[in-house]
Amino acid sequence: MEHKPVVLMERYELGRLLGKGTFAKVYFARNIKTGMSVAIKMIDKEKVMKVGMIEQIKREISVMRLVKHPNIVQLYEVMASKSKVYFVMEHVRGGELFNKVSKGKLNEDAAKMYFKQLISAVDFCHSRGVYHRDLKLENILLDENGNIKVTDFGLSALAESKCQDGMLHTTCGTPAYVAPEVIGKTGYDGCKADIWSCGVILYVLLAGYLPFYDSNLIEMYRKIVKAEFKYPSKFPIEARRLVSKMLDPDPSTRISVTKIMQKPWFQIGFDSNTRKAETAEKEPDVFSSLESSSNLLERPERDKLGDLNAFDIISLSAGFDLSCLFEKKYQKKELRITSMQPLQTIISKFEDIAKKLRLQLTKEGGLLKMEGSREGRKGVLSIYAEIFEITPDFHLVEVKKARGDTLEYQKVVTEDIQPALKDIV
């Protein structure tokens, strides 16, 4: 017995599942009227409302409407039912650029072709006041002709997202690709942050591996902040000079997109009319149909959990998951917090904690050791607090048990240490 094909909104015949995530599934589909192949991203309405992600979805729609470009995945339309939101998008058949590089580095001509298309797409986004903020190989697809298509604007920002100082302040992006100023949380220029990520991508295309990588995430962050990396011996000289200007840790002196496009290495074979030929549609009211569809954009009072922070969102996608580094609650046997306070202020807090708990505190560089004087169920309780300087104004503090009873340690952490550190987190 043949199964009748599933038809969505009387317009699209659904096919195979292409991929799925926490909140969405992506299906291959065919437009019944025109026969055109599309990809349909189905977002679960109830799930996104529960975690307060409606604003992010609205922003992604708004951004994708603005950026109509040959090297950006196109959003054709947005539909909604009682329980789902549907993004009808261009179907890109060639897979991720990541899969090509995973087989080894590319030759210079191939890397240059992909890089030129990427810069053309990024330049176009910036001209429309859009900053992607999560550029990485996994977010660059290839079509059947081998041309790139930038996708996943879920973390993107519009120019109006800037604060009064003219900067963006949300820490986001995939750690190995993220610019040092984004880590620092002092505000950053979205254009310059995207350029850094493009520099990482160009390096990977020509080297076959990431410039900043370490199994210790804190060490990786240190390398990013200092732009500490090495080129393989056969890395092309002109490309090396360009990458060095893109991976400048000082955003004020980092090369601009305009100057990248003026470089002789970039200019050879580049069609300067690409961007001029494209026009963006006037931004339509893309939310009206959603708002009228089963009150999609209404969030129940009981579900007002606030927006997910950027590292929560990152953990839902491919790449490194750093969410554990930025959670403020106790997890397993370690407590990790971040603080914008000076090093001495953090140390003083632990001195106060040790005094209150009658623990002996000793200091060894950034490592603090707090030890009791009485024997517990499993010996004397000893706790380490290690302070990592990510930037001069941004510290990560890791608290863990050195020895002693785990239950006793957990009680000290939850009842004494965590509450005492609240005002510096």
Give the per-residue pLDDT at 173: 45
For the domain spanning 1-91, the CATH number is 3.30.200.20
Class of domain 327-424: alpha beta
Per the annotation, where are the binding residues? 41
Give the per-residue pLDDT at 184: 67
CATH architecture of 97-267: Orthogonal Bundle (1.10)
Give the per-residue pLDDT at 147: 95
Vertex 48: Cα angle to 44 and 50 (nearest 5): 120
Give the per-residue pLDDT at 271: 56
Number of residues that make up the chain: 425
Q: Please give the single-letter amino acid code of residue 17.
A: L
In 3D, which of 389, 269, 266, 402 has the Cα closest to residue 339?
389
The pTM score is: 0.63
> Where does residue 376 rank: exposed (0-12), middle (13-18), buried (19+ CB within 10 A)?
middle
The Cβ-side half-sphere exposure at 174, using a 13 Å CA radius, reads: 24
CA distances to 178, 187, 228, 261 from 257, in Å: 17, 20, 22, 6
Q: By the 8 A CB rule, do 21 and 316 touch? A: yes
Give the per-residue pLDDT at 329: 37
- Cα 176–chain centre separation: 10
pLDDT tens across 131-159, in order? 887 888 888 999 999 999 998 765 444 34
CA distances to 92, 94, 106 from 209, in Å: 25, 21, 11
Secondary element (H or E) of residue 150? strand 148-150
pLDDT tens across 13-34, in order? 999 988 877 677 889 999 999 9
In 3D, which of 227, 134, 221 has the Cα closest to residue 396?
221
Q: Where are the domains positioned within the chain? A: 1-91, 97-267, 327-424
Residues with Cβ within 8 Å of 333's Cβ and at least 6 positions away in sequence, in order, are: 400, 401, 406, 409
pLDDT tens string, the chain, 425 residues long: the values are 556 788 888 899 999 988 877 677 889 999 999 999 999 989 888 887 876 777 777 777 777 777 889 999 898 998 888 888 898 999 998 888 988 888 889 999 999 999 999 999 999 888 888 888 788 888 899 999 999 999 876 544 434 444 444 433 343 446 788 888 887 656 778 889 899 999 999 999 999 999 998 777 778 888 998 999 999 999 999 999 999 999 999 999 999 999 999 999 998 765 544 444 343 344 333 334 444 333 333 322 322 223 333 333 333 333 333 333 333 333 445 787 778 788 888 888 899 999 998 899 988 656 888 988 787 777 888 898 888 766 666 677 888 888 888 888 888 888 889 888 888 87
Measured CA to CA, the distance from residue 186 to residue 176 in angstroms comes to 19
Give the per-residue pLDDT at 49: 80
Catalytic residues: 134
Per the annotation, where are the binding residues for ATP? 41
